[in-house]
Amino acid sequence: MAEVENEGLSLLYRAWWRLRYTAMHFYGGAQMEGLADPHERLRRERAVKVEKARQERLARESKND
pLDDT at 3: 61
The b/e string for 14-23 (b: 16+ C-beta within 10 A; e otherwise) is eeebeeeeee
Higher pLDDT, 63 or 30: 63
- The answer on pLDDT for 24 being more than 70 is yes
Q: What pLDDT sits at residue 12?
A: 93
Whole-angstrom distance, CA of residue 37 vs CA of residue 30: 8
The domain locations on the chain are 38-65
* pLDDT at residue 19, as a whole number: 94
Q: How confident is the model at residue 2 (pLDDT cuts 50, 70, 90)?
A: very low
Helices (H), 1-65: 11-27, 38-64
Which among 39, 47, 38, 40 has a CA at the least distance from the CA of 6?
47
